[in-house]
Amino acid sequence: MSSPEQIQEQIEQTRSQLSNNVDRLTDKVSPSAVANRQVNRIKSRGQSLRNRVMGSSHDNSGLYGAGNSLGSAAGSAKDSLGSAADSAKDAIGSAPQMVRSQTQGSPLAAGLVAFGVGMVLSSLVPPSEKEQQLAAQAESKARELAEPLKEKGQEMAQELKPAVQDAVEQVKSTAQEAAQDTTEQAKSAAQDVQAPMKQ
Do 22 and 73 reside in the same domain of the chain? yes
Q: What is the pLDDT of residues 5-52, one digit of tens each?
A: 888 888 999 988 988 888 888 877 778 878 888 888 888 888 887 777
Q: Is residue 188 within 8 Å of 181, Cβ to Cβ? A: no
Do 70 and 109 reside in the same domain of the chain? no
Give 61 or 156, the one with higher predicted confidence: 156
Provide the CA 36 distance to its chain's centre, in angstroms: 36
Contacts of 43 (CB under 8 A, 6+ apart): 71, 72, 75
User: Left, alpha or beta for 35 (phi > 0: left; psi -120 to 50: alpha)?
Assistant: alpha
**Domains of the chain: total:** 2
Q: How far apart are CA 91 and CA 71, in angstroms?
A: 21
Give 94 or 137, the one with higher predicted confidence: 137
Do 13 and 66 reside in the same domain of the chain? yes
Q: How far apart are CA 19 and CA 16, in angstroms?
A: 5
DSSP assignment, residue 150? H
Do 67 and 93 reside in the same domain of the chain? no
Residue 187: inside a domain, yes or no?
no
Give 140 or 56, the one with higher predicted confidence: 140
Do 86 and 116 reside in the same domain of the chain? yes
Q: Is residue 75 within 8 Å of 46, Cβ to Cβ? A: yes
Q: What is the pLDDT of residues 139-198, one digit of tens each?
A: 888 888 888 888 888 888 888 888 888 888 888 888 888 888 888 888 887 787 777 776
Do 21 and 77 reside in the same domain of the chain? yes
Residue 2: inside a domain, yes or no?
yes
Do 75 and 3 reside in the same domain of the chain? yes
Do 39 and 28 reside in the same domain of the chain? yes
pLDDT in the model for residue 65: 46
pLDDT in the model for residue 79: 52
Q: How many CB atoms lie within 10 A of CB 75?
A: 20
Do 72 and 16 reside in the same domain of the chain? yes
Q: For residue 82, give the 3-state DSSP assignment.
A: coil
Do 75 and 5 reside in the same domain of the chain? yes
Residue 134: inside a domain, yes or no?
no
The last residue of one of the domains, among 18, 52, 81, is 81
Residue 109 burial (C-beta neighbours within 10 Å; 0-12, 13-18, 19+): middle
Q: How far apart are CA 194 and CA 186, in angstroms?
A: 12
What pTM was estimated for this model as a whole?
Answer: 0.26
Q: Is residue 101 within 8 Å of 94, Cβ to Cβ? A: no
pLDDT in the model for residue 77: 44
Half-sphere CA count of 94, side-chain side, radius 13 A: 6
Cβ-defined contacts of 133-140 (< 8 Å, 24+): none
Give 37 or 71, the one with higher predicted confidence: 37
The domain of 56 spans 1-81
